[in-house]
A = this chain, B = another copy of it.
Amino acid sequence: MGEFAEKIISGDIRSVARLIRDIDDGVPGVRETMKELYSHTGKAYVIGITGAPGVGKSTLVDGVIGNLRNKGKTVGVLAVDPTSPFSGGAILGDRVRMQRHSTDPGVFIRSLATRGQFGGLTQSTRYAIDVLDAMGKDLIIVETVGVGQDEVDIVKAADTTVILVVPGMGDDIQAIKAGVLEVGDIFVINKSDHAGVEKTENDLRSMLALGNREDRETRWEPSIIKAEALSNKGISELIDEIDKHADYLRKASSDEGAAKKKEKLRLLLRDMVTNRLMEAFSSQLMQDIHFEEAVESIYMGRTDPYTACDKLLLSKTF
């Protein structure tokens, strides 16, 4: 094993920070280090926390960190930010969030904001989870903003997925349903001192009752917790519920467990192979003379994009 990987496993903060930055920047050499780290992963418990902007995720995560630290657990936090098409950098993150834990050596917080095509953010998050796992963190919290497909893919990497809502989201609560409701193991209604909390709870309950949850691989019945993260209310209930879910997963029949684990590996490997291939392919394609000719032809109205696409696929000069 190389010196760099050894430093990661020994928990050296600088090395871990550098590797995560390299992952975020898409440095190719990262894969070699990940290979070396792999046998040291699989010990950490991964908690995904997701919800729309404004629901108080950072505050809740801050409370969860505090609770876990009081129990002597070490915690890694990955704040997954939406990609900026122009700046490409993590604008949120380390600096502004969870300030009070920033000097605690038992807590490691980083944000990811990988730009680029082909599942970049999902893959970077998987890599970064493995790094925090290999460095020895007991629990890893992955916090995501929004409700897109990326988010769904990311929460699939978690052992327990927590979905955060607030009262009074109206029809838009359905947007969460369509996105990630089905993958939620625990629901937290934050800001539960606000008006409309009963309606939100009822909406959630009926959606959970009528939802497509029979398709889930698990028979776990998700619970709904009311919280006021700002005043630390509901945090210990949430931790208890996460413990219950972890117990459930441990006790689940080994068949169910193995099938679930293999399916995760299948998706991981498929995405890895596909992404690698696509990276290479996409840059080749854009440099191909026939590609630029095709763009010109469409622009001049001599052909349409669909026909041009067929031709490029048939010729395969790239």
Q: Is A131 an interface residue (CB 8 A)?
A: no
Given A273-B285, A273-B313, answer yes or no on A152-B52 (Cβ-Cβ < 8 Å).
no
Asked whether A178 lies within 8 Å of B31 as measured between CB atoms, the reply is no
A150 to B150, CA, bound (A): 8
Q: Is A286 an interface residue (CB 8 A)?
A: yes
Closest to A311 in B: B273
Q: Which of A175-213 contact B (CB under 8 A)?
A: 175-183, 211-213
> Which residues from B are CB-within-8-Å of A82?
147-149, 152, 175, 178-180
Contact of A38 among B175, B274, B304 (CB under 8 A): B304
Asked whether B183 lies within 8 Å of A272 as measured between CB atoms, the reply is no
Asked whether B84 lies within 8 Å of A182 as measured between CB atoms, the reply is yes
Asked whether A35 lies within 8 Å of B146 as measured between CB atoms, the reply is no
A interface residues, how many (CB within 8 angstroms): 89
A299 to B286, CA, bound (A): 37
Asked whether B178 lies within 8 Å of A272 as measured between CB atoms, the reply is no
Asked whether B285 lies within 8 Å of A53 as measured between CB atoms, the reply is no
> Which residues from B are CB-within-8-Å of A262?
295-296, 299
Q: Mark A295-311, 1 if CB is under 8 A from B, else 0.
A: 11011010011111100
Given A92-B175, A172-B54, answer yes or no on A305-B38 (Cβ-Cβ < 8 Å).
yes
Q: Is A248 an interface residue (CB 8 A)?
A: no
> Which residues from B are CB-within-8-Å of A96?
171, 174
Contact of A83 among B85, B97, B152, B313 (CB under 8 A): B152
Q: Is A45 an interface residue (CB 8 A)?
A: no
Q: Is A276 an interface residue (CB 8 A)?
A: yes
> Which residues from B are CB-within-8-Å of A86?
182-183, 211-213, 215-216
Contact of A87 among B212, B268, B278 (CB under 8 A): B212
Interface residues of A (CB under 8 A from B): 31-32, 34-35, 38-39, 52-54, 58, 81-87, 90-92, 96-97, 113, 117, 121, 145-152, 156, 166, 168-183, 211-213, 215-216, 258, 261-262, 265-266, 268-270, 272-274, 276-278, 281-282, 285-286, 291, 294-296, 298-299, 301, 304-309, 312-313
Query: Would you list the 4 A-B pairs with minimal beta carbon distance, nearest first?
Result: A148-B148, A38-B304, A53-B172, A82-B179
